[in-house]
Structure 1
Amino acid sequence: MLSYRHSFHAGNHADVLKHTVQSLILEALKEKEKPFLYLDTHAGAGRYQLASARAERTGEYLEGIARIWQQDDTPAQLEPYLNAVAAFNRSGQLRYYPGSPLIARELLRPQDMLQLTELHPSDFPLLRAEFQNDKRATVARGDGYQQLKAKLPPTSRRGLILIDPPYEMKTDYQAVVTGISEGYRRFATGVYALWYPVVLRQQIKRMFHELEATGIRRILQIELAIRPDSDQRGMTASGMIVINPPWKLEKQMAALLPWLHRKLAPGGTGHVSLSWLVPE
């Protein structure tokens, strides 16, 4: 279908959670000198203008990044993420939001590599232009799930694989499980981070059951809801499934989630959850 455009949603509460987790994982991987691969299966356009007609139409960033931008009580664990956002807003005014590939570019070292894939015909040229002078990056137009077969394992045998599809087709919920399973068979020591939206809770429960059935161990679930589950249209929550999480991630998110919930759901609605779908 390819009708989904992230420019309508950039910087919303789901992006805050997703990119916080992404940043913490990247910082953990950098603790060892050995290089690693960052593989992004659905990379998007890269950069989003928050004053654009699309972003202004929904205003979702006002209930996301804008609520934690330049706060006095920001937890130290958020610094890598917020510093990456600040790199695109040097004036201090929140004008641009970096997607996951640009956050990775800000945080990665010279020895690390980026493999980015985007299928949308409008977003791909924008992404390619963002990285045209970055020798660490390979940008491809194609099916991101195929990269889990073609590009794994990396030669370094270290990496973060971010899987962030638009879920505009119901088949995406099954495709992510199949993709992770295929990638894991090739690269069982990699860190896999899967973002999911909560629109219909039953869809997410089915996806969880299918992930559990793969036999993969060490699957951590992180979820932030700004509203209670509903059968009405719209995303009430989002989460990250992390396979082989860095050892500090659970503790870091246990400290961060209550703060994020207070800021992003100031009315106290919704919930946070942090649990192991599958332990060791």
Structure 2
Amino acid sequence: MNYRHAYHAGNFADVLKHCVLIALIEALQAKPKPLCYIDTHAGAGRYDLSGEAARKTSEAAAGIGRLRALRGRQPLLDRYLDLVAAEGANHYPGSPRIAARLLRADDAAQVCELLPEEAAKLRALFRDDRRIHVHERDGYAALKALLPPAQKRGLVLIDPPFEEQIGEYARIQASLDTALTRWPNGVYAVWYPIKQGRDLQPFRRWLRRCAAKTVLDVELLIRPDHVPERLNGAGMALLNPPWRLDATLEPVLRLLAKQLAAEGEDGTARLNWLKTEDGTSV
């Protein structure tokens, strides 16, 4: 699988990721102290939905394109729709752009992108924003240098293209092992694709025994997860999530599952605690 951002901008997996991202940042901002947002695979930051890459897949039509009719139904979804609308017609914000619009004046962001062309777009996008620091380097390796951040509070988003497919999880796990040692109280969010649900079991076993205090697994399926040739859903593994984040996410996930289900299918949303406050693995 090669999950390049430009081809999939605004699809159902982006919708899930960005709703969760907004909820995480807003929960962290409930406290006045500044925070740091770190993005390991930032992409270009902004995407033209009328461009060649997006038109080739047309995935936004079945993602963000289905949600505008739900305005007014759920506050978190409304905030997401407002952030997308702020980009103007035919454009979709990537994760660093959404984060930048939410960050306060004393918050900061460190965003990493390995591809030179994408990194150049990031620099151009944030050239006038002194809160945002762009790094043209491997995001996994960058965590060693960036953690812990000066702000001591914040969020790391790990959103790789999964070019190595199942092998990507080994890199994620190794990176998180190091990150949790350097910054044990940080919040970590890992996006992952779902083709066959059974392929995720080794990753979930690792999450249950990792050094994070708590782990919440969030999934959105637009069709059953037993067909390996297609993307059937997406998930977010949340390590050390803010208090009551599950209660914030549950109503919007229920709406998304119904609205974004593939034609003729029943969508499914799942919120599972893999590790709880008392250290119990579920």
SS in 1 for 2:116: coil
Q: Distance in 2 between matches of 1:139 and 1:114?
A: 8
**Aligned-pair CA distance for 1:63:** 0.7
**Cross-structure match for 2:202:** 206
**Aligned-pair CA distance for 1:4:** 4.9
Q: Distance in 1 between matches of 2:148 and 2:183?
A: 5
Q: 2:154 aligns with which of 159, 169, 189?
A: 159
Question: Which TM-score applies when normalising by structure 1?
Answer: 0.93
**Aligned-pair CA distance for 1:73:** 4.2
**Cross-structure match for 1:150:** 145
1:138 and 2:137 matched: no
- Given that 2:258 and 2:266 are in contact with CA atoms closer than 8 Å, whether structure 1 keeps it comes out as no
1:271 and 2:271 matched: no
SS in 2 for 1:222: strand
- Given that 2:177 and 2:211 are in contact with CA atoms closer than 8 Å, whether structure 1 keeps it comes out as no
**Cross-structure match for 1:59:** 58
Taking only aligned residues, the RMSD between alpha carbons, in angstroms, comes to: 1.6
Residue identity in the other structure for 1:97:
Y
- Given that 2:13 and 2:234 are in contact with CA atoms closer than 8 Å, whether structure 1 keeps it comes out as yes
Q: How does 1:83-102 map to 2 (within 5 A)?
A: 83-89=82-88, 93=89, 95-102=90-97
What whole-Å deviation, never above 9, does each CA across 1:92-119 have from its counterpart, x for those lacking one? x4x1000000000111111000100001
Q: Distance in 2 between matches of 1:32 and 1:50?
A: 36
- Given that 1:14 and 1:237 are in contact with CA atoms closer than 8 Å, whether structure 2 keeps it comes out as yes
Q: Distance in 2 between matches of 1:147 and 1:19?
A: 23
**Cross-structure match for 1:247:** 243
Q: Distance in 2 between matches of 1:56 and 1:48?
A: 11
1:107 and 2:102 matched: yes
**Aligned-pair CA distance for 1:156:** 1.7
Residue identity in the other structure for 1:160:
L
**Cross-structure match for 1:174:** 170
Greater alpha carbon shift after TM alignment, 157-166 vs 251-260: 251-260
| Fraction of identical pairs, as percent | 43
- Given that 1:42 and 1:117 are in contact with CA atoms closer than 8 Å, whether structure 2 keeps it comes out as yes
- Given that 2:36 and 2:153 are in contact with CA atoms closer than 8 Å, whether structure 1 keeps it comes out as yes
Query: 1:134 and 1:73, CA in 2 relative to 1: closer, same or farther beyond 3 A?
Result: closer
SS in 2 for 1:122: helix
- Given that 1:262 and 1:268 are in contact with CA atoms closer than 8 Å, whether structure 2 keeps it comes out as no
What whole-Å deviation, never above 9, does each CA across 1:236-267 have from its counterpart, x for those lacking one? 01011111111131001121111111111164
- Given that 1:219 and 1:241 are in contact with CA atoms closer than 8 Å, whether structure 2 keeps it comes out as yes
Question: Which TM-score applies when normalising by structure 2?
Answer: 0.93
**Aligned-pair CA distance for 1:148:** 1.7
Q: Distance in 1 between matches of 2:124 and 2:114?
A: 15
Q: Distance in 1 between matches of 2:244 and 2:120?
A: 37
Q: How many residues align?
A: 275
Q: Distance in 2 between matches of 1:33 and 1:217?
A: 23
SS in 1 for 2:70: coil
Q: 1:186 aligns with which of 182, 194, 200?
A: 182
- Given that 2:23 and 2:249 are in contact with CA atoms closer than 8 Å, whether structure 1 keeps it comes out as no
Query: 1:70 and 1:110, CA in 2 relative to 1: closer, same or farther beyond 3 A?
Result: farther
Q: Distance in 2 between matches of 1:195 and 1:235?
A: 13
